[in-house]
């Protein structure tokens, strides 16, 4: 782990400001499991960013969930009042400015509707992507809500025995 040097990660660092530090790894942090292994934390502590496309309005919807959780799309659709679908790689890059596997919770190229899984609240420390498939930054749940202005909701089901709770 070392301080960020990639221009995209540095752009995210600029949006975050000096209170947070974007770190880069030689290994991939593209998936929640890879990020947890590189960082040395639980998969649950990874704030997994998933981009969806609202099918009627065509707006990007970023759901940030616990690394062990699976987003329940009908819950998001009911909250939005329209169906959603997983966004393809072109949509993600064009609408957020970032590639899949590195989408941070902030610094998008256009306004993005953000929904934050309340299960992340159970951790004292979480880690989020920082613009590239090998960069992350550490924060807590309150920081995530404040930085993003996202709406907190139950949006997922847990897929792991590890759970989205502190060990």
Residue whose token pair is 């997994």: 48
Q: pLDDT tens digits for 33-56?
A: 999 999 999 999 999 999 999 999
| 13 to 3, 26, 114, 143: CA distances (angstroms) | 10, 18, 19, 15
Q: Name the band, by pLDDT with cuts 50, 70 and 90, for residue 157.
A: low
Distance CA(53)–CA(91), nearest Å, equals 8
Give the torsion sign (CA, 75, 120, 159, 105): positive
Distance CA(85)–CA(130), nearest Å, equals 24
Phi, psi of 23 (to 5 degrees): -120, 145
pLDDT at 162 over 70: no
Q: Name the band, by pLDDT with cuts 50, 70 and 90, for residue 164.
A: low
- Whole-number pLDDT of residue 159: 55
Phi, psi of 110 (to 5 degrees): -150, 165
Q: Which of 128, 125, 144 is nearest to 136 (CA)?
A: 128
Residue 109 structure tokens: 């190229």
Q: Which of 126, 167, 153, 165 is nearest to 71 (CA)?
A: 153
pLDDT at 156 over 90: no
Domains of the chain: 39-128+138-158 (3.90.960.10)
């Amino acid at each position: 782990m070392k301080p960020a040097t990639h221009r995209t990660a540095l752009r995210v660092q600029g949006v975050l400001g000096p209170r947070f530090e974007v770190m880069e790894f030689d290994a991939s942090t593209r998936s929640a499991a890879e990020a947890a292994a590189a960082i040395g934390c639980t998969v649950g502590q990874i704030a997994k960013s998933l981009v969806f496309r609202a099918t009627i309005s065509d707006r990007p919807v970023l759901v940030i969930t616990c690394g062990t959780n699976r987003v329940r799309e009908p819950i998001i659709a009911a909250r939005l009042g329209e169906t959603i679908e997983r966004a393809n790689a072109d949509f993600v890059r064009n609408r957020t400015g970032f590639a899949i596997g590195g989408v941070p919770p902030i610094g998008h190229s256009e306004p993005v509707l953000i929904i934050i899984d309340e299960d992340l609240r159970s951790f004292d420390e979480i880690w989020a992507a920082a613009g590239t498939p090998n960069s992350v930054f550490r924060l807590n749940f309150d920081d995530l809500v404040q930085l993003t202005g996202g709406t907190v909701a139950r949006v997922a089901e847990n897929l792991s025995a590890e759970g989205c709770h502190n060990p």
